[in-house]
């Protein structure tokens, strides 16, 4: 993978190459510079980002959404992800990011909605199963939570670079889950 500096030099030599600008934005996001990344994505975004949209337009829109999410601008990120999903209803990474964003906001109804939507596309999505397990734990539906937790072991690992949902269970909840697991057996 090219470094931020190498991508910037390549872009300086060919400033009209949108794919270089998008790669630079991705590299800046990875390096922890979401504000600079957002500027890159916005510079190569189409004027009208409504469907239909080409691959570069979708990449720029996804980058804008991800940068806004990293900046804590959740309403803007939500709108952008929804535009992307309108253009590409199979955009698994957008759904995964929406799940993570709503876990962070603790909006369980949206976590459940996007997790179920992702499972329709990929029944082996670990992130979707984690989202549903979280929802069931918070609802104190421990047998249902155990079902989703057991499904995670059967799932494909998340793609490289996508973090799984991080959620810590209290010892009390862990004991209830263990009890629910024993009842099921």
Q: What is the pLDDT of residues 159-182, one digit of tens each?
A: 554 455 666 667 777 777 777 776
What integer pLDDT is reported at residue 177 of this predicted model? Answer: 75
What integer pLDDT is reported at residue 102 of this predicted model? Answer: 96
**Residue 84 confidence (pLDDT) above 70:** yes
Q: What is the pLDDT of residues 25-52, one digit of tens each?
A: 999 999 999 999 999 999 987 666 666 6
Question: What are the domain boundaries of the chain?
Answer: 1-89, 94-185
Q: Look up the pTM and report it.
A: 0.83
What integer pLDDT is reported at residue 117 of this predicted model? Answer: 98
CATH superfamily of 1-89: Tetratricopeptide repeat domain (1.25.40.10)
Task: Please tell me which residue, 55 or 78, carries the higher pLDDT value.
Answer: 78
**Residue 183 confidence (pLDDT) above 70:** no
What integer pLDDT is reported at residue 161 of this predicted model? Answer: 47
Q: Decide if 1-89 and 94-185 have a common fold.
A: yes
What dotted CATH number matches 94-185? 1.25.40.10
3-state SS of the chain is CCCHHHHHHHHHHCCCCHHHHHHHHHHHHHCCCHHHHHHHHHHCCCCCCCCCCCHHHHHHHHHHHHHHHHCCCHHHHHHHHHHHHHHCCCCHHHHHHHHHHHHHHCCHHHHHHHHHHHHHHCCCEHHHHHHHHHHHHHCCCHHHHHHHHHHHCCCECCCCCCCCCCCCCCHHHHHHHHHHHHHHC
What integer pLDDT is reported at residue 168 of this predicted model? Answer: 65
Confidence of residue 1 (pLDDT cuts 50, 70, 90): low
Q: What is the pLDDT of residues 110-158, one digit of tens each?
A: 999 999 999 999 999 999 999 999 999 999 999 999 999 889 888 877 6
């Amino acid at each position: 993978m090219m470094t931020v500096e190498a991508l910037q030099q390549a872009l300086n030599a060919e400033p009209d190459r949108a794919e270089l600008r998008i790669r630079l934005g991705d590299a800046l996001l990875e390096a922890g510079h979401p504000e600079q990344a957002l500027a890159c994505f916005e510079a190569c975004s189409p004027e009208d980002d409504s469907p239909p949209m080409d691959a570069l337009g979708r990449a720029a829109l996804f980058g804008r959404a991800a940068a806004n999410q990293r900046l804590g601008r959740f309403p803007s990120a939500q709108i952008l992800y929804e535009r992307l999903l309108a253009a590409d209803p199979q955009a698994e990474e957008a759904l995964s990011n929406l799940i993570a964003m709503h876990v962070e906001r603790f909006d369980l109804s949206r976590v459940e909605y996007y997790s179920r939507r992702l499972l329709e596309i990929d029944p082996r999505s670990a992130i979707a199963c984690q989202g549903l397990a979280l929802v069931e734990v918070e609802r104190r539906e421990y047998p249902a939570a155990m079902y989703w937790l057991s499904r995670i072991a059967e799932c494909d690992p998340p793609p490289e670079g996508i973090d799984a949902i991080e959620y810590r269970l209290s010892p009390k909840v862990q004991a209830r889950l263990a009890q629910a697991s024993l009842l099921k057996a």
